[in-house]
């Protein structure tokens, strides 16, 4: 039987990064993955394929809506070749997951294909064509998550679908009904909206992306409505029925009236659930909480002292970069180091266009905590860079402590917000004040000037360009 210092169960961004860091630190490491490709949800059916389709559909939208204004005439009709779009997405996924194979070899990590299941706290059985058993001094559970649904919905994977199927449709929906106005619903909704589908979003809460800053959620809602999304906040879905090629969704609106939506596809995007099926966690003495998450302490250690857990399968934001940080954290803990993660500074991004990005506290969180704060906001439309590319929607908002001027939160909607938020993360990691940012030179013309202007607005209400 092969013996390891560390076995990692699950090869998503949490698991494969943990394995690499363990190997870098000199531990003999194995990784176990039940699918034939490495990379988990993120690389196979999550972050990477969704961004590939967002990029392709963005190009199409630019071609049909904006090229003419830029002085680019394309003779003949511009058409979508969905088969090619999906094939390109798949080739991006294949290249990316292939890259993880390379990294495992480079770092001398043994890869086992098959479902990993605890025999006890130090032995794991891997079931594939044949059963293998390995011994591990320490194990990192990184088994991730799966889409969740509502009790009365039957996901048939044809017309009533999750994100996994939405990434490989063979036709463009005529009317896509999206249940859940969160990240997946809006990103994948926008892919098919751009390709010509009518998109209706049904959201239980009174606003889309309800966990983000209310101002950001309001701005995104405004922009998406301008893009002809049909938004239905405060709607409680009560039934989803498939009739041939039709899907009929019934919901109660705020007034308690029944509203019927009829479409040809329904995307169920109401969140994801932690995944521990087949893991046999009990055999190792690993406890789950009542939400099905693996319970961990501040060292990400489970109720079994030699077993740790990271990523979507534990508490906290279900984000690839959060899982990665936790993978590094556990590897360094096992090596006797004292790593640290500031969960307040894990950025969140929605890759619609305009993009949405945020880090730190929202205004509501600051109000609830009784913090005396000030706000500096700057509209993207006031930037020369935005006018040059015609990306006029959105704003940057900087929230800073009223007394100390320390930046407490940065929220933005706008072109390239996903990349711009890194500046705010760096600033906040170093506990910068709004004045610090406002005194730093920002290249002109760039979208990042909006961060400087918002910081100036927060410092002394002295933005320069509004
Ligand atoms: P996962 O990536 O879920 O990996 C877990 C792995 O463990 C899987 O491969 C699974 O097969 C394997 N596994 C499970 N049980 C066993 C077992 N018993 N034995 C062996 N293997 C097992 N996050 C972002 O930060 N940015 C984005 O842009 C983004 N976009 C997304 C888009 C979509 C459509 C979806 C669905 C998710 C997106 N996410 C995004 C979320 C992101 O994918 C997850 O947060 C991330 O993948 C979690 O990483 P993980 O390592 O915890 O688990
Ligand atoms: P989510 O939590 O982002 O959104 C789910 C939405 O569904 C929420 O707005 C919620 O209020 C709503 N909802 C819940 N129950 C409902 C009901 N009965 N009827 C109507 N609406 C209901 O979840 P998601 O969009 O499914 O994404 C799952 C996870 O994947 C998220 O945690 C997210 O962080 C991650 N993800 C991240 C990215 C990214 O970082 N860009 C992209 C995709 C997914």
- Give me the DSSP letters along 198-218: EEEEE-SSSSSSTTS-HHHHH
Report, in this order, helix, strand and coil percent for the chain, each rounded to 5: 35, 25, 40
Q: CATH assignment of 160-270?
A: 3.50.50.60
Give the pLDDT confidence score for residue 129 in this predicted structure: 77
User: Ligand 2: distance of its center to the CA of 320 in Å?
Assistant: 15
User: Ligand 2: distance of its center to the CA of 260 in Å?
Assistant: 22
pLDDT in tens, 38-62: 999 999 999 999 999 999 999 999 9
Query: Is 444 annotated as catalytic?
Result: yes
CA–CA dist 103, 21 (Å, integer): 11
Give the pLDDT confidence score for residue 130 in this predicted structure: 83
Beta strand 2-9 with 29-33 is: parallel
CA–CA dist 347, 365 (Å, integer): 16
Q: CATH assignment of 2-146+273-341?
A: 3.50.50.60
CA–CA dist 435, 162 (Å, integer): 45
Residues 6+ apart with CB under 8 A from 158: 165
Q: How far is CA 449 from CA 95, 374, 392, 453, in A?
A: 35, 20, 14, 6
* Tally of helices (H runs) and strands (E runs) in the chain: 13, 22
Nearest to 275 by CA among 145, 118, 116: 145
Mutational pocket test of ligand 2: of 270, 274, 348, 350, the residue with most ligand atoms within 8 Å of the beta carbon: 270
Atom of ligand 1 nearest to the CA of 47: 30
> 342 in the Ramachandran plot: left (φ > 0), alpha (ψ -120 to 50) or beta?
beta
Query: CATH 3.30.390.30 region(s) of the chain?
Result: 345-458
Atom of ligand 2 nearest to the CA of 205: 11
Mutational pocket test of ligand 2: of 165, 177, 180, 254, the residue with most ligand atoms within 8 Å of the beta carbon: 180
pLDDT in tens, 308-352: 999 999 999 999 999 999 999 999 999 999 999 999 999 999 999
**Backbone phi, psi, residue 18, to 5°:** -60, -45
User: Ligand 2: distance of its center to the CA of 328 in Å?
Assistant: 26
**Ligand at shortest distance from the CA of 351:** 2
Q: Name the class of domain 345-458.
A: alpha beta
- Answer for the pair 345, 177: CB distance below 8 angstroms, yes or no: no
CA–CA dist 398, 89 (Å, integer): 36
**Ligand at shortest distance from the CA of 50:** 1
What is the Cα Rg of the chain in Å? Answer: 24
Give the pLDDT confidence score for residue 262 in this predicted structure: 98
**Ligand at shortest distance from the CA of 146:** 1
Query: CATH 3.50.50.60 region(s) of the chain?
Result: 2-146+273-341, 160-270
- Answer for the pair 451, 396: CB distance below 8 angstroms, yes or no: yes
pLDDT in tens, 432-444: 999 999 999 999 9
- Smallest CA separation from ligand 2 atom 32, residue: 318
**Which residue ranges of the chain lie beneath pLDDT 50?**
none
Atom of ligand 2 nearest to the CA of 185: 25
Give the pLDDT confidence score for residue 115 in this predicted structure: 97
User: Ligand 1: distance of its center to the CA of 314 in Å?
Assistant: 12
CA within 13 Å, CB half, 458:
35
User: Ligand 2: distance of its center to the CA of 299 in Å?
Assistant: 27
Give the pLDDT confidence score for residue 460 in this predicted structure: 83
pLDDT in tens, 114-158: 999 999 999 999 998 789 999 999 999 999 999 999 999 999 999
> 278 in the Ramachandran plot: left (φ > 0), alpha (ψ -120 to 50) or beta?
left
């Amino acid at each position: 039987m092969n013996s390891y210092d560390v076995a990692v169960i699950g090869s998503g961004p949490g698991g494969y990064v943990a394995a690499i860091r363990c190997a870098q630190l000199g531990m003999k490491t194995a990784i176990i993955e039940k699918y034939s490709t490495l990379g988990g949800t993120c690389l196979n059916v999550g972050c990477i394929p969704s961004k590939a389709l967002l990029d392709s559909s963005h190009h199409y939208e630019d071609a049909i809506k904006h090229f003419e204004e830029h002085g680019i005439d394309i003779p003949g009709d511009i058409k979508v070749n969905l088969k090619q779009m999906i094939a390109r997405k798949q080739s991006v996924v294949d290249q990316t997951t292939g890259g993880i194979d390379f990294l495992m070899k480079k770092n001398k990590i043994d890869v086992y294909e098959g479902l990993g299941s605890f025999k006890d706290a130090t032995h794991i059985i891997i079931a594939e064509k044949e059963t293998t058993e390995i011994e591990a001094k320490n194990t990192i559970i990184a088994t991730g998550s799966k889409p969740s649904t509502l009790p009365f919905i039957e996901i048939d994977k044809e017309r009533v679908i999750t994100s996994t199927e939405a990434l490989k449709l063979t036709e463009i929906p005529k009317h896509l009904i999206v249940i859940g106005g969160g990240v997946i619903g809006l990103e994948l909704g926008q892919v098919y909206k751009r390709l010509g589908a009518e998109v209706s979003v049904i959201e239980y809460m009174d606003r889309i992306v309800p966990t983000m800053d209310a101002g950001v959620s309001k701005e995104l809602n405004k922009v998406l409505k301008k893009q002809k999304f049909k938004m239905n906040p405060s709607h409680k879905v009560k039934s989803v029925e498939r009739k041939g090629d039709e899907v009929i969704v019934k919901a109660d609106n705020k007034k308690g009236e029944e509203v019927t939506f009829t479409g040809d596809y329904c995307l169920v995007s109401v969140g994801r659930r932690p995944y521990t099926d087949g893991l046999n966690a009990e055999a190792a003495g690993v406890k789950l909480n009542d939400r099905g998450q693996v319970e961990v302490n501040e060292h990400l250690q489970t109720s079994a002292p030699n077993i740790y857990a990271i990523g979507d399968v534990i508490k906290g934001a279900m984000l690839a970069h959060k899982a990665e940080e936790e993978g590094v954290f556990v590897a360094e803990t096992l090596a006797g180091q004292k790593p640290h993660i500031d969960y307040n500074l894990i950025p969140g991004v929605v890759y619609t266009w305009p993009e949405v990005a945020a880090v730190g506290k929202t205004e509501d969180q600051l109000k609830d905590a009784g913090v005396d704060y000030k706000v500096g906001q700057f509209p993207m439309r006031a930037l020369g860079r935005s006018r040059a590319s015609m990306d006029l929607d959105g704003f940057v908002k900087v929230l800073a402590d009223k007394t100390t001027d320390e930046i407490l939160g940065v929220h933005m909607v706008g072109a390239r917000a996903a990349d711009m938020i890194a500046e705010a993360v760096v600033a906040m990691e170093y506990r910068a004040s709004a004045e610090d940012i406002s005194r730093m030179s920002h290249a002109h013309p760039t979208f990042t000037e909006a961060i400087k202007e918002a910081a100036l607005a927060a410092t002394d209400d002295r933005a320069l360009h509004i």
